[in-house]
Amino acid sequence: MRRLILVGGPTGSGKSALALALAEQFGGAVVNADAMQIYDGLAILSNQPSAAEKARVPHVLFGTLAPSETCSAGRWRKLAIDACETLWKSGRIPIVAGGTGLYIRALTQGLSPIPDVPADVREAARGLLAQLGPTALHRRLIARDPAMGARLRPSDSQRVVRAWEVLEATGRSLAEWQEAAPEGGIDARIFGIAAMPPRAALYAACDARFAAMVQRGAIDEVRALIALGLDPSLPAMKMLGVPELAAHLAGELPLDAAIVRAQTATRHYAKRQYTWFRHQWTPDITLDAQFSESHSNEIFSKIRESLLTVA
């Protein structure tokens, strides 16, 4: 039987350290399940593993795509399943780790069978977004697809254009597709661990980590990203810290204010993740503290008992 360990939790929860420890203990490899860590050129801001950590165990799907690309849940699921298949063939256990709930659901349960949108339709939709702006495109979406339009904020340009392109390509509302039974979950025995420390500790960790990112060179990463002249609606351009540090580089915000704004946005994001993992996923273990080596023996023992000893 193919086996997989899944580590989820909000940003700043210590899940990366836990995944690394698991990979070392069980001869595994860490597979990224974070929507931002898949992009290249933003290793600091997305908190990708260091060179030293990558030297300790293999890491997969970190910095894989250019920031000019968009990685949907469907695209990530295919990449992740392919990575897991390769690891199983090599005798390694995949340790899938990340905080993107939609990715975790896509891997474990599958996704609604939405057809691929042709490249020309996708390009036309993005051209219309650039021409009209997200608010006007949202109004057009409501006129043709009231159900989906009502679910989306006008400012959420990425989801608005996605709903528009699906409608154009299929003639059906994205809402209808999303209600269809999911397909394509991974065929494996999964042991799930949620890293869920107390919120006060989590938020403090988020604040400290972002300040450290700035010290490590996050501003230079954002400067290089801006120099690429990318569409501001791309996921990489919306990464936590990018808009705030970009505003600082443009002379619109003092650095201290940019850091505070980014820290606030990070805490809000962590809160949403925390809520998702509390209510949308039932793991085998919930770790109610920041991971440390003191938790290792108990976690390792439970994995051996419930995952590795089962034929």
- What number of other Cβ atoms are within 10 A of residue 40's Cβ? 16
3-state DSSP assignment of residue 255: helix
CATH number at 119-179? 1.10.20.140
> What pLDDT score was predicted for residue 311?
54
Extract the tokens encoding 212. Answer: 């450290």
- Name the residue with higher pLDDT: 186 or 178: 186
93-98: strand order across its sheet: 59-60, 28-32, 93-98, 3-8, 189-195, 285-287
> What pLDDT score was predicted for residue 218?
97
CA distances from 7 to 16, 30, 77, 246 (A): 8, 10, 16, 32
C-alpha to C-alpha distance for 241 and 258, rounded to whole angstroms = 8
**226-235: pLDDT as tens digits:** 999 998 888 9
Q: Where are the domains of the chain?
A: 3-111+182-308, 119-179
pLDDT band at 182 (very low <50, low <70, confident <90, very high): confident
The DSSP output letter for 31 is E
Instruction: Give the pLDDT mean for 57-83.
Output: 95
Extract the tokens encoding 249. Answer: 């580089």
Which pTM was predicted?
A: 0.86
3-state DSSP assignment of residue 99: coil
Q: Which CATH class is domain 3-111+182-308?
A: alpha beta
pLDDT band at 214 (very low <50, low <70, confident <90, very high): very high
In single-letter form, the type of residue at position 276 comes to: W
The DSSP output letter for 144 is H
**2-47: pLDDT as tens digits:** 999 999 999 999 999 999 999 999 999 999 999 999 999 999 999 9
C-alpha to C-alpha distance for 1 and 3, rounded to whole angstroms = 6
- H or E stretch at 3: strand 3-8
∠ CA 274-279-280, rounded to 5°: 100
C-alpha to C-alpha distance for 175 and 163, rounded to whole angstroms = 8
Residue whose entry in the numeric block shows the structure tokens 């057009």: 140
Q: Is residue 310 predicted with pLDDT exceeding 70? A: no
Q: Is residue 309 predicted with pLDDT exceeding 80? A: no
In single-letter form, the type of residue at position 7 comes to: V
> Quick one: which of 124, 133, 136 has its CA closest to 166?
124
> What pLDDT score was predicted for residue 115?
81
CA distances from 252 to 232, 237, 242 (A): 17, 17, 14
**233-285: pLDDT as tens digits:** 889 999 999 999 999 999 999 999 999 999 999 999 999 999 999 999 999 99
